[in-house]
Amino acid sequence: MLEQAGIDFSVRPPDFDEDAVKAAGLDGESLALRLAEGKASSILVGQDDWVIGSDSTLTVDGTRYSKPRTREDAATHLRIFSGRTMLLSSAVALANQRQVGWSHGETAVLEVRRLSEEFIQSYLDREWPEVGYCVGVFRMEGRGVTLFDRVEGSHFTILGMPLLPLLGALRERGIIEP
């Protein structure tokens, strides 16, 4: 998303213990915010540089789901999601000198249609292993869109990061052109 928006960036892995934050029992959006802030503030960069951290969480019927580890995990998740509503929360944070200067979270509501076993297997035949990197076992920019009857929320939030608020924050700080 950043590349498509014309943002110059480099990628660095965070030095951050996600498991400790996940154990805190936060709701989806609060957890996504805490994870994004933790990732962004864990990377030390130059005084004039900013770090972007982001994360997403998925909750269905009060249960939080992680990325599937195997294709069978993915099929199990899709069976559980069938006919239910997903709450997909994504957050982004900006940090400088390990201090969070801005953060923002959003939640999208995605109503999953009833999925037959035949559909689930056919879908995974086409989309696995790529959807294994996605918390909801879908890529909205691909066949994942066929999982849903209705979607409410920002397209970018569903893709994994509230991009438009981030672009506004980058403009406000003079990091990108106004």
- What are the pLDDT digits (tens) for 47-77? 999 999 999 999 999 999 999 999 999 999 9
Q: Above 90 in pLDDT, residue 175?
A: yes
Start-end of H helices in the chain: 18-22, 28-41, 71-81, 117-127, 155-159, 163-172
Helix axes 71-81, 117-127, angle to 10 degrees: 140
pLDDT digits (tens, 9 = 90+) for 131-157: 999 999 999 999 999 999 999 999 999
pLDDT of residue 133: 94
3 assigned to some structural domain: no
User: Whose structure tokens read 């009857």?
Assistant: 149
Residue 38 · residue 30 · CB < 8 Å: no
**Comparing C-alpha atoms, which of 8, 15, 11 is closest to residue 98?**
15
> Which residue of the set 17, 48, 55, 73 is catalytic?
55
1 assigned to some structural domain: no
**Amino acid at position 135, single letter:** V
**CATH code of the domain in which 131 resides:** 3.90.950.10
Token pair of 76, please?
Answer: 């199990």
pTM score: 0.93
Instruction: Specify the number of domains making up the chain.
Output: 1
105: left (phi over 0), alpha (psi -120 to 50) or beta: beta
54 assigned to some structural domain: yes
User: Whose structure tokens read 């154990």?
Assistant: 23
**Please, what's the b/e burial string for 87-109 (b: 16 or more CB within 10 A of its CB; e: otherwise)?**
bbbbbbbbbbeeebebbbbbbbe
4 assigned to some structural domain: no
Average pLDDT, the chain: 96
**Amino acid at position 14, single letter:** P
Note if 73 is an active site residue. no
pLDDT of residue 178: 87
113 assigned to some structural domain: yes
pLDDT of residue 82: 98
User: Does a cis peptide bond (omega within 30 degrees of 0) precede residue 129?
Assistant: yes
152 assigned to some structural domain: yes
Domain ranges, residue 62: 18-172
pLDDT digits (tens, 9 = 90+) for 67-115: 999 999 999 999 999 999 999 999 999 999 999 999 999 999 999 999 9
Q: Which residues contact 52 (CB under 8 A, 6 or more apart)?
A: 2, 9, 40, 92, 93, 94, 166
pLDDT of residue 107: 98
154 assigned to some structural domain: yes
pLDDT of residue 127: 97
Distance CA 121, CA 52 (A): 36
7 assigned to some structural domain: no
Percent of the residues in the chain that have a pLDDT greater than 70, as a whole number: 100
